[in-house]
Copies of this chain bind each other. A is one copy, B any other.
Amino acid sequence: MNRGASGYYQALVEGVEPGGRYLYQLDGAALRPDPASRFQPEGVHGPSQIVCADFSWDDTSWFGLPLNRYVFYELHVGTYSREGNFDAIVPRLAELKSLGVTAIELMPVAQFSGNRNWGYDGVFPFAVQNSYGGPAALKALVRACHQQGIAVVLDVVYNHLGPEGNYLGEFGPYFTDRYRTPWGMALNFDGPDSDEVRRFFVENALYWVTDFHIDALRLDAIHAIVDHSAQPFLQELTAAVHQRAAELNRHICVIAESDLNDVRVIQPCHSGGYGFDAQWNDNFHHALHTLLTGEREGYYQDFGQLRHLAKAYAEGFVYSGEHSSFRRRRHGSSSRTIPAERFVVCAQNHDQIGNRMLGDRLSTLICFEALKLAAGVVVLSPYLPLLFMGEEYGESAPFLYFTSHSDAALAEAVRRGRREEFSGFAWQGEVPDPQDEVTFLRSKINYELKDTAGHRTLLDFYRELIRLRGTNPALAYLSKEDTDVIALENKKTLFVRRRCGECEVFVAFSFADSVIAVDAPVPPGRWQRLLDSSDEQWKGDGSLLALKLSSEGEVGLQLNRKSVVIYEKSLEQPI
């Protein structure tokens, strides 16, 4: 091969056809797959395969989804179905659409070692996992989604590469020892020769949105991307994707996972921000989770008061410079002026479930009424809601941590690491073995559950919430300025009022353990009950008293334990 500019080597090989396989040999060393491989039919150690870029797309009338229309459904391809591949997702799209989901978010699909992995151990960023069906099957899935009007979000990992089959460093200065990540060597985004390292990942982002018609990227753990340059990689990346979106005339969003609570992430580039369209807001999750479960371990120690959830609802970040006990320092900056649509919120996601020793979902931790309450808190927020596969019908299978490394020493290290991580939880039993196939199989969702009694009710409840969110102007309009939040700490009740022009909605969330009476902070008026999670329709304890005018001119309410009630102001007949 001939050395070209910027350290790339090239050769023109005649007569190569799609399906042809190849390896590189570096200066007489071992044969290696292509670091920019498009397909690894035999896994991370095998040859790369030439892939035909042609595909019969039929989504020319699909322009992507505006940010504020996203209702995410996060799924892990391997455990979403018995087959564990892209094809098996397609038959379920109609049901997801009927649920109101507007986007599926795929956990990472870059080629990883073995057949079982969350995806964060990917080592070929451009190759679609062979056991999921490879690149053609992913394209077919995207096409099917767009046919249904469903967007596709892809989780991409630009902070490290996985531990097995990671040959990238042999090809160039992709890694640096100046920084560290919790998961492996840090990528070289600001050191010597980093321009082309950045380009590798920028091109990766453009590859997905261009060649695969992906609608949004979710960047994993950007806080582990260390970069002190004056023009940060992340800025370069969001700008490149947004430019490509303009060229393609499609909505394309870039979403960050970040634990920095730093508004810079979601501020526009011209204000010195990184220019992400949105970011996951873990604070919202933690505030909700602690209220629902009473848990206070680890990072949950910073949460647990109703005011935390109230602040998450009103502002976004709960920690905006306050002292965090868990971090033992002040944390975060204020997101008060950040638009609501820049936050993705959830009651559960792969991390919050899977990073528990036993991978327990909320459905196994809290009661049915509380599950509906959680659904209400997420879906009725002014933020972008995200459900984790199976959450909508109260799936009970755990989502455990699983791997299938072929390197025995690595497998053992992962096993040991997991055991050490949960050494304080021995009373809960044994740490499931990540390498054991059973751990993977146990994590598969039981999709047929959704058709059984209680599960079906929860599913219908989610559907109704999402329908209301999409059709009621006051709920559809994502504006913090038009959202008022009042927390009654001693009543364990959160009131939220949301407005859009003349339309107004008033929601009461009760986290109390029994029926409570409260004065609602709304003016008397003709309020119409839109939804009550206690209603018998939702297999609840039964709806309580309707609104009444109290002696002080306030609106009195009785709220069931763990309930959510939505009222809409009637425009026709004020009293």
A-side interface residues toward B, CB under 8 Å? 178-180, 190-195, 223, 226, 228-231, 260-264, 267, 271-273, 321, 323, 327-333
Contact = CB atoms under 8 A, between A and B. Distances in A.
A223 B194 CA distance: 18
B272 A328 contact: no
B263 A230 contact: yes
A179 B226 CA distance: 11
Contact of A331 (B230, B263, B267, B333): B230
Contact of A193 (B179, B228, B329): B329
A178 B180 contact: yes
Contacts of A271: 271-272
A260 B330 contact: no
Most buried by B among A180, A321, A323, A333: A333
Contacts of A260: 228-230
A273 B264 CA distance: 11
7 contacts: A191-B329, A223-B228, A229-B329, A230-B264, A230-B321, A230-B331, A230-B333
Most buried by B among A180, A230, A264, A321: A230
Nearest to A190: B329
Most buried by B among A231, A264, A323, A329: A329
A323 B198 CA distance: 14
Copies in the complex: 2
A261 B230 contact: yes
Given A178-B180, A190-B329, A231-B333, 5 more contacts: A195-B330, A229-B262, A229-B329, A230-B260, A272-B272
Contacts of A333: 230-231
Nearest to A177: B180
Given A178-B180, A271-B271, A192 B327 contact: yes
A271 B264 CA distance: 10
A223 B230 CA distance: 11
A335 to B, nearest CB: 10
A37 to B, nearest CB: 25
Contacts of A178: 180
A468 B333 CA distance: 47
Contacts of A329: 190-195, 229
A271 B178 CA distance: 29
B195 A230 contact: no
A323 B231 CA distance: 12
A10 to B, nearest CB: 21
Contacts of A262: 229-230
Contact of A273 (B191, B228, B261, B272): B272
Nearest to A273: B272
A119 to B, nearest CB: 25
A226 B261 CA distance: 17
A226 to B, nearest CB: 8
A304 B416 CA distance: 56
B272 A323 contact: no
A160 to B, nearest CB: 16
Contacts of A229: 260, 262, 329-331
Contacts of A331: 229-230
